[in-house]
Amino acid sequence: MKCSFCEIEMEEYNHNNPEPLLESSQRVCSDCNCLVTAFRLLSRQQNQEIVPELAKFVSSVIQLSNSFKRTNFALSSRAQTFVNYSEDSE
């Protein structure tokens, strides 16, 4: 099972409900659950009519941020492989 935000593999017993940021059928890891919990606490102070739209926005920001992290990691891994290959060739 993968986290719906960061897409890391999770143990089946170690997952959390992401509502109201995502559908209840989805699951998030413990790290991403901290973001969900923070949103829940802060959204209590907001006009409840705007919370669903705010949740969509925050969820999109989290998902985009994690996409950037994965891309940066993949690029840095490729760059390191290239550096290692170049050093071995000398």
Q: Is 62 helix (H, G, I), strand (E, B) or coil?
A: helix
Indicate whether 77 pLDDT > 80.
no
CA distance 4 to 28: 5
Check: pTM over 0.85? Answer yes or no.
no
Residue 86: predicted pLDDT:
58
User: Among 18-22, 28-32, 69-73, which is the least confidently predicted range?
Assistant: 69-73
The answer to whether the beta carbons of residues 38 and 26 sit under 8 Å apart is no
* DSSP letter string, 2-58: B-TTT--B--TTS-B--TTTS-TTS-B-HHHHHHHHHHHHHHTTS-TTTHHHHHHHH
**Where exactly are the structural domains of the chain?**
1-90
Q: Which residue has the higher pLDDT, 76 or 25?
A: 25
The answer to whether the beta carbons of residues 51 and 43 sit under 8 Å apart is yes
Residue 22: predicted pLDDT:
96
